[in-house]
Amino acid sequence: MMFIETRGNDATRPEKVRFSEAILAPMCSFGGIYVPESLPSLDQTFLKAHLDSDYKTLARSILEAFDIDIDAAVIDEALNLYDGFDDPSNPVPVVKVMEDLYVAELYHGPTRAFKDMALQPFGVILSSLAQARDQDYLILAATSGDTGPATLETFKNRKNVRVACLYPKGGTSDVQRLQMVTEDATNLKVIGIRGDFDDAQTALKTLLGSESFNQKLSEKNILLSAANSVNFGRIIFQIVYHIHSYLELIRQGAIEFGEKVYLDVPSGNFGNALGGYYAMKMGLPVEKIIIASNINNVLTHLIKEGKYDLRDSAVIPTTSPAMDILKSSNVERVLFDLFGAERTRELMQQLDNEKFYKLSETELSRLQQIFTADFCMDEEGKKYIRATFEQGYLMDPHTATCFKAYETCREKPLVTIVYSTAEWTKFSPTIANALTGEMDTHDQDALKSIAKTAGITIPAVVSELFEKPITQTTVIDKEDIEKEILEFIS
């Protein structure tokens, strides 16, 4: 399987690359991103054959169908990371919450959020490619919360890869910060920035574009790479759990083989939803994909009105911060798939230059054949958390946005899979507030209060964080980031 570029080829790069190239050097012509040239088809025979497969067996077959240039032994080693999830035989439990609403829990990995689903196996693949090529990579990450811990966790002590992770000091939850600053490995550097997430991200972008910085890296024979959410090495693992969840519904007797379902996804950068879109194109019986957002609702407007409008918008901080995103990067892959490279380049250039694009009527109706969307305000989300808890299910604020969309977006009474992207432990102050009305500012108090109210225990990986020694103590001004990173790699 070869990979091509969403905005066409500028003749200075290869027209097609293999998977390894697409993940190690993801830069594309005209600022585009890599997409598979074609998708394998998972017909009924494939799905039937996997009715009784465990997660890793299913994943192996799907990856095989993509025919990527990664050794089977490396793929196996990567998939073995799912053995570290709560239930090694089923890393993604699918739980019945209402008669026709099932929740696929994507948060049972080491950092308690869905980023582990893709980043855990991805870390093995990237590191083994780097070793095979005898190259050293530096991965730079700026995080507002979930990506940082998951990136550090996956690359911890892996050969030929170092990670420098920037986070806004005071801008993450206690659990998220502790997950980062208690990481103890010589190939990891965690840097607190005096400023907000935008400052951290802007500083990172400046650095990536800085000639002197790149010059100094190449003097040390270090290559830059990114583990961000447009990397296809992450997307490929996000196709698997959609198919797994569908098969789980059959196993649980919730649907008949071949019956269509809704996929209901809390969306930010659209990686999770894109995985569902590819699964649907490959043959999974999906009625529509429901895109749930918070008040940062650019995707709702895109899918309802065909307009992507960033002209008067600024990110509004919410209680579902992993979805506080306006430029949803993976949408580009859907545009490419539906409308081709030329049109994608035109639309994306308009977005870059004018902060706006509008689809034609025909284009919009094609988008609406696949997607439907709604958004959920923080206060509404809390009501869903509370009401659902009273029915016996505890969920986080990202997942709650899907419950609103479940009520407003379905045109047919079909079974719906809601994707739950974070455990209650990661956003505990909001949840404690939803359940009891109290206003804890510290995670530790909120965690205890939820555990008591719900009669559950705090998972050890979370409670232990508060006891672990803090090993990553660097906090600096953004002007000093370059110096700090150069010191780390020398």
Ligand X SMILES: *Cc1c(COP(=O)(O)O)cnc(C)c1O
17 versus 178: smaller Cβ distance to ligand X: 178
267 versus 428: smaller Cβ distance to ligand X: 267
128 versus 245: smaller Cβ distance to ligand X: 245
Do the beta carbons of residue 42 and residue 62 sit within 8 Å? Answer: yes
121 versus 271: smaller Cβ distance to ligand X: 271
CB of 291 to ligand X, least distance (A): 9
CA distances from 320 to 115, 229, 432, 442 (A): 15, 18, 14, 17
Q: State how far the Cα of 284 lies from the Cα of 209, in Å rounded to an integer.
A: 41
CA 200-291-112 angle, 5° bins: 55
Q: Count of residues for the chain?
A: 490
Do the beta carbons of residue 440 and residue 429 sit within 8 Å? Answer: yes
CB of 271 to ligand X, least distance (A): 3
CB of 323 to ligand X, least distance (A): 5
For residue 432, the SS3 value is helix
244 versus 478: smaller Cβ distance to ligand X: 244
Amino acid at 161: V
229 versus 245: smaller Cβ distance to ligand X: 229
- Residues 6+ away with beta carbon under 8 Å from 476: 191, 192, 193, 194, 484
Instruction: Look at strands 101-105 and 416-420 and give their pairing.
Output: parallel
Do the beta carbons of residue 294 and residue 301 sit within 8 Å? Answer: no
CB of 149 to ligand X, least distance (A): 10
3 versus 237: smaller Cβ distance to ligand X: 237
CB of 277 to ligand X, least distance (A): 12
CB of 328 to ligand X, least distance (A): 7
Q: Which residue in 370, 375, 372 sits closest to 339, CA to CA?
A: 370
233 versus 266: smaller Cβ distance to ligand X: 266
Q: State how far the Cα of 217 lies from the Cα of 219, in Å rounded to an integer.
A: 5
406 versus 481: smaller Cβ distance to ligand X: 406
- Please give the sequence-ordered ranges of beta strands (E in DSSP) within 336-424, or none if there are none: 356-358, 371-375, 416-420
CB of 269 to ligand X, least distance (A): 3
- Residues 6+ away with beta carbon under 8 Å from 485: 138, 140, 164, 189, 191, 207
Burial tier of 342 (Cβ tally within 10 Å: 0-12, 13-18, 19+): exposed
8 versus 109: smaller Cβ distance to ligand X: 109
- Please give the sequence-ordered ranges of beta strands (E in DSSP) within 355-441, or none if there are none: 356-358, 371-375, 416-420
CB of 374 to ligand X, least distance (A): 15
CB of 427 to ligand X, least distance (A): 8
Q: State how far the Cα of 245 lies from the Cα of 419, in Å rounded to an integer.
A: 9
CB of 15 to ligand X, least distance (A): 28
What residues make contact with ligand X under the rule CB under 6 A? Answer: 113-115, 146, 229, 266-273, 322-323, 398, 421-422
347 versus 422: smaller Cβ distance to ligand X: 422
Phi/psi of residue 264, nearest 5 degrees: -120, 105
Q: State how far the Cα of 170 lies from the Cα of 423, in Å rounded to an integer.
A: 21
CB of 327 to ligand X, least distance (A): 11
